[in-house]
Amino acid sequence: MSSETQQETTDDERLYDLLSEVWHADTQATNPRTREFLEAGQELLHSGLARDPDEQPAPRGGRSRAPFDELLAWVSRRRVVDQARRRHPQGENGEPSESAYRYRWRTQTGYLRDLVVYALRPRMASPEETEKAARVLFQEESLDKAIDRIAYDEVLSLNKDKAFRLQMVFQAILSDDDHVANALRRIDETNFEAWKTFYKQALDHLGMKLRPDVNLDDFAYALQAAGEGVVFRSLLPVKSDCIPAARAIDHKNKTSRPLALIAMSLLVAFADPGDGKCLREAVRELATPAQDPG
């Protein structure tokens, strides 16, 4: 079996596990037409919720009571079918039809629930940025410059990632839905584990140990939260008079100043300089007046 065929088989297995609302899922979940409808809806999501600042918003439809319909009313059955027809005007199985759509999803809310998870699936894969970060760290002689570049690459990559933009929207609005919450948790765990592995490699490479009251989980989650916050900020269009401290992405200096500063600060705070003190103890001493030797 070729590597391409193996990849297709793996993708089909993942798709079968992800979709819960398709009727006759054992055969229809991996059917090419099912994927066509989901791809069409994903394009509508990208244009409506994850578009670039210079893209025009997609027109939206009316309102309804269901949470998914309330947020995604403009991703209607008709629009999805029309988009699928534009993408595949005449495929091997004929033109995508509304009857084929209805055969797979009996309710529009069911389709939207599957669509949200489908659109998030790229974020469920282990991030490639960790491999790039390792190369930068091991090749860059200056640690601060390495942190600058790693922060820049990560923020820039996620800034361009439409799936990340959708993740932020869905996390803010639809996380009370169990189906969506499970997908969001899966994304969080996958990214956490990948970056945690990188941080372990980095600390070992640098010969650093953490203070006794913090561990690698603390360090990884703190940086993950900081990174997501900076990337979220980077989605806001930058004004020409924006001060350097507010620039989430600095193309000229190849850094993300906010994230790089946070990463450096956390590293200095978490790393044991050899005194064996707890982080909290070190912080308390910052606010303790120095004793007058006289």
Instruction: Report pLDDT digits (tens) over 54-66.
Output: 565 555 554 444 5
Q: List, for residues 97-113, the tens digit of each pLDDT value.
A: 999 999 999 999 899 99
pLDDT tens column, 208-255:
999 999 999 999 999 999 999 999 999 988 887 788 888 899 999 999
As to burial, measured by CB atoms within 10 angstroms (0-12 exposed, 13-18 middle, 19+ buried), residue 1 is: exposed
Other residues' Cβ atoms within 10 Å of the Cβ of residue 274: 7
Average pLDDT for 179-192: 93
Cβ–Cβ < 8 Å for 195, 220: yes
Q: Which of 294, 161, 173, 273 is nearest to 228 (CA)?
A: 161
Whole-number Å distance between alpha carbons of 80 and 280 = 54
Q: Which residue has 């091991």 as its token pair? A: 138
Report the percentage of the chain scoring pLDDT > 70.
86
Q: Which CATH architecture has domain 125-286?
A: Orthogonal Bundle (1.10)
| Other CB atoms within 10 Å distance of the CB of residue 53 | 8
DSSP state of 210: B
pLDDT at position 64: 40
Q: Quote the percentage of the chain above a pLDDT of 90.
A: 59
Domain residue ranges in the chain: 3-120, 125-286
Give the mean pLDDT of the chain.
86
Selection from 54, 71, 61 nearest residue 115 by Cα: 71
- Give CA–CA dist 269/259, Å, rounded: 15
Whether the model clears a pTM of 0.85, i.e. scores above it, the answer is no
